[in-house]
A and B are shown apart, each in its own frame.
Chain A
Amino acid sequence: SQQGEEDPQALSIQEGENATMNCSYKTSINNLQWYRQNSGRGLVHLILIRSNEREKHSGRLRVTLDTSKKSSSLLITASRAADTASYFCATDPSAGKSTFGDGTTLTVKP
């Protein structure tokens, strides 16, 4: 069963705008990871946030984690056409294997 669930399923914005994606999960976690997948390719790791962290930044990416609400958000600022991809969150509860959500498909229009 899916642990992480992303919201929205699809998001379309103009270049330069910010994009926010949300992820909810059900059980306790060690960490939560965000990945990007370009069409027909493998996943690229973006950010890992640990359960004792609340916010993390990496370039134009900002991830928040609220363990009380079992949710996380990924913010991409000043989006570019090259950011067009599917974004997945993955939870890592315990046994070392991640469970992926269904992803958010982001389209950034030039």
Chain B
Amino acid sequence: GAVVSQHPSWVICKSGTSVKIECRSLDFQATTMFWYRQFPKQSLMLMATSNEGSKATYEQGVEKDKFLINHASLTLSTLTVTSAHPEDSSFYICSARGAGRRQHYSNQPQHFGDGTRLSIL
């Protein structure tokens, strides 16, 4: 099955630090990657959608200068939380979707990484 690797799995850092999270599709080409944020016992909140080679599309209320997304290749997207503060502490999850051979793009499931727990002190 499709595998998505997310790294690191856990980050603890001081306020003001910038943190980069990587999301890699290991055995398929991800035309689109999604970045989510999840608070305890809550659902996933979509932050942004990134397509390879183009600028990410951010959801309403998500600061694009705060959460920098780069999708430089078909297998790698990064999320950088700039000048992180305690309120940025959360569980961040990426997912990737491939183009598929026969099925329409919209009928491809998302494949998720294992998430990154970010704690800002």
> Which chain A residues have a beta carbon within 8 Å of chain B's beta carbons?
2, 30-31, 33, 35, 40-45, 48, 50, 88, 90, 92, 94, 96-103, 105
A48 with B109: CB separation less than 8 A: yes
Instruction: Select B105's contact among A42, A43, A96, A103, beta carbons within 8 Å.
Output: A96
B114 with A42: CB separation less than 8 A: yes
Interface centre among A43, A50, A101 (most CB of B within 10 A): A43
Number of A-B contacts (CB under 8 A): 60
Chain B residues within 8 Å of chain A by Cβ, number: 26
A7 to chain B minimum Cβ distance, whole angstroms, is 14
> Which chain B residues have a beta carbon within 8 Å of chain A's beta carbons?
4, 6, 32, 34, 41-44, 46, 49, 91, 93, 95, 97, 104-107, 109-115, 117
A73 and B17 alpha carbons, distance in the complex (Å): 44
A91 to chain B minimum Cβ distance, whole angstroms, is 11
Chain B residues with CB under 8 A of A97? 34, 46, 49
A7 and B41 alpha carbons, distance in the complex (Å): 15
A10 to chain B minimum Cβ distance, whole angstroms, is 10
- CB contact under 8 A between A45 and B111, given known A97-B49, A100-B44, A101-B43: yes
